[in-house]
């Protein structure tokens, strides 16, 4: 199981998703102060208290983490593992797109409140993009394994 390179890729995806899940992924600042802090489960702000927290991001990333952990242990069922990793990749791409939209939306809300703010991206916000790349590499490895097994079945 661990000797397969896609298992290493999937373990890294699980690790990075766990780190991103627990970290602050950015903050809204103006020239003098931090206006708001943004994580996967909360949006803490002294200025805009009516903004709903982004808890679906945490749920989505937790689902990706769970799917990745399950797919690590499906190494004997390569096609099922491949489907789970592809679904996980689609969820991560959706996460990144929704994250960009929500940041834009919150910036519009702060601008409407009369605050000149910009967004500072944290390092943990880049982990889902790295996870998409690692998932693509794992997909390639799973497909190579499946092709190898099918070619060996033809020889017998």
Summarised one tens digit per residue, pLDDT across range 38-90 is 888 877 766 655 556 678 888 999 999 999 999 999 888 989 999 999 999 99
* Total residue count of the chain as it appears in this document: 156
pLDDT at position 47, please?
61
pLDDT at position 136, please?
96
The β-bridge relationship of strands 118-121 and 43-45 is unpaired
Is residue 118 scored above 70 in pLDDT? yes
Count other Cβ atoms within 10 Å, centred on residue 143.
14
Q: Are 40 and 57 in contact, with CB atoms under 8 Å apart?
A: yes
Positive or negative, the Cα torsion across 140, 142, 143, 144?
A: positive
Count other Cβ atoms within 10 Å, centred on residue 53.
15
Distance between CA atoms of 114 and 108, rounded to whole angstroms? 10
Average pLDDT for the chain: 86
Count other Cβ atoms within 10 Å, centred on residue 142.
27
User: How does pLDDT run across 19-50, given as a tens digit for each residue?
Assistant: 999 888 888 888 888 877 888 887 776 665 55
* Residue percentage of the chain with pLDDT more than 90: 42
Prediction pTM value: 0.86
């Amino acid at each position: 199981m661990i000797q397969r390179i896609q298992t290493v890729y999937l373990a890294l995806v699980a690790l990075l998703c766990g780190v991103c899940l627990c970290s602050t992924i950015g903050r809204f600042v103006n020239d003098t102060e931090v206006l708001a802090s943004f994580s996967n489960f909360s949006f803490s702000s002294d200025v805009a208290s009516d903004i709903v927290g982004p808890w679906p991001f945490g749920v989505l990333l937790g689902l990706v983490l769970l799917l990745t952990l399950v797919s690590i242990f499906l190494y004997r069922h390569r096609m099922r593992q491949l489907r789970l990793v592809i679904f996980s990749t689609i969820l991560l791409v959706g996460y990144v797109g929704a994250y960009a939209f929500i940041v834009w939306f919150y910036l519009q809300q702060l601008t409407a409140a009369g605050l000149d703010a910009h967004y500072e991206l944290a390092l943990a916000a880049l982990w889902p993009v790295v996870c998409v790349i690692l998932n693509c590499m794992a997909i390639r490895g799973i497909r190579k394994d499946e092709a190898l097994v099918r070619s060996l079945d033809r020889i017998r």
